[in-house]
Amino acid sequence: MGNTDYVLFAAGVITVICFYAMNTMALNLKTGVGGVIDFGVVAYVAVGGYVYVLCTNAPPPPGAVWHIGLGLPLWVGFIAAPIAAGLFGLIIGWPGLRLMRGDAIAVTTYAAAEVVRALATNEAYVTNGVVGFHNLPQPFREQFENPKAYSYFFMALSILSVVIIYLLLNRLHWGPFGRSLKALRENEEVALSIGKNPMRFRLWAFVIGSAIAGFSGAMFVTYQTICVPELFVLTVTFTVWIAYVVGGTGTDRRRRDRSGP
């Protein structure tokens, strides 16, 4: 095993770290800043991943089990994934956030993740069931002769998206939106008295967090070049949670996870 193999492996690990870093930052927005316990991280990742695949996949060949493949350019998929995941977060978050009961939200999000996986496994006419999708196209793949060079490129792409999301979230945290959220978290009555609507702010935090998770899902399936229900198991949620707890709850520092591919 040559030196380059280790470097290549490290590139893969860094790509996965970036995936978890995006999700952990999203979770930090929801839970750390917004105070909403979310146990369904993997649900938004799955929605993002599948929407990306459905948008970008070529139309199904005759006789295929699945029926949807829009064949749009890849960048459309990368935009559609966060939008769909954000909408999904809106639907999932609304019933629990309306009451703002921590346990209720934890239970609904946890259950939602299970439902998403059940849907992905069983609604084969959309998701191709347990077989899923393979050989997904990767952005700018044709520019690279060497598959190894491409993994470095993809690593750089992942790091770039983490940095962009970090900067965006940083602005959000320190801007009026983040300050209102933190005020709501620390003392809801005081925040209410100056006219902050807790439901609206928390729901926005939830939707933005879900959208980021959806984007990371699109990146994840692109990196794996497959999209199967087995990718979106509960372990992903709890790995993100471990990263979140290890990083220190409720702080604004970035969190990362050390698990490999």
Partner 1 sequence: MLYLQYLVFGLVTGCILLMGSVGFSMIQRLDNFMNLTHGMMIALAAFLAWFLYTTVKLPLLVAAVIVIIFIAAFTWAQYKVVFSPIRKAGATMLLFTSVGLSFMINGAMEGIFGATPKSINIGMPRQFFIGDQPILSSIDLIIIILAIVCAVGLHLFLTRTRMGIAVRAMSSQFDLARVRGINTESVAAVVWAIAGALAAVAGILYGLKGTVYTDMGWTIILLVLSAATVGGMGSVYGVMVGSLIIGVIMDMSVIWINPAYRPAMAFVVIILMLLLRPQGIFGGGRSRG
Q: Tell me, residue by residue from 75 to 104, as one string, x for binding to partner 1 by CB under 8 A and - for no binding.
A: --------------------xx-xxxxxxx
**143 vs 68, 149, 238, CA distance in Å?**
28, 10, 36
Min dist CB 34 to partner 1, Å, is 13
Site string for partner 1, 191-220 (x = CB under 8 A): ------------------------------
Measured CA to CA, the distance from residue 193 to residue 187 in angstroms comes to 10
* Distance of closest approach, residue 62 Cβ to partner 1, in angstroms: 26
The angle subtended at Cα 113 by Cα 119 and Cα 238, nearest 5°, is 140
H or E segment and range at residue 234: helix 234-246
Can you tell me which of 13, 106, 126, 183 binds partner 1, judged by CB under 8 A?
Answer: 106
The yes or no reply on residue 107 touching partner 1 (CB under 8 A) is yes
Binders of partner 1 among residues 223 to 252 (CB under 8 A) are: 234, 238, 241-242, 245, 249
- The three-state secondary structure class of 227 is strand
Cβ–Cβ under 8 Å, residues 154 and 223: yes
Minimum distance from CB of 95 to partner 1 (Å)?
A: 5
Separation CA 216–CA 234 (nearest Å) = 16
Residues 86 and 214: beta-carbon distance below 8 Å: yes
Size of interface with partner 1, in residues (CB under 8 A): 30
Q: Which is nearer to partner 1, 156 or 234 (CB)?
A: 234
124 touches partner 1 by CB under 8 A: no
Tell me whether residue 45 or residue 113 sits nearer to partner 1 (CB atom): 113
Three-class SS string for 153-217? HHHHHHHHHHHHHHHHHHHHHHCHHHHHHHHHHHCHHHHHHCCCCHHHHHHHHHHHHHHHHHHHH
User: Which residues contribute to the site for partner 1 (CB under 8 A)?
Assistant: 35, 37, 95-96, 98-104, 106-108, 110-112, 114-115, 118-119, 121-122, 188, 234, 238, 241-242, 245, 249
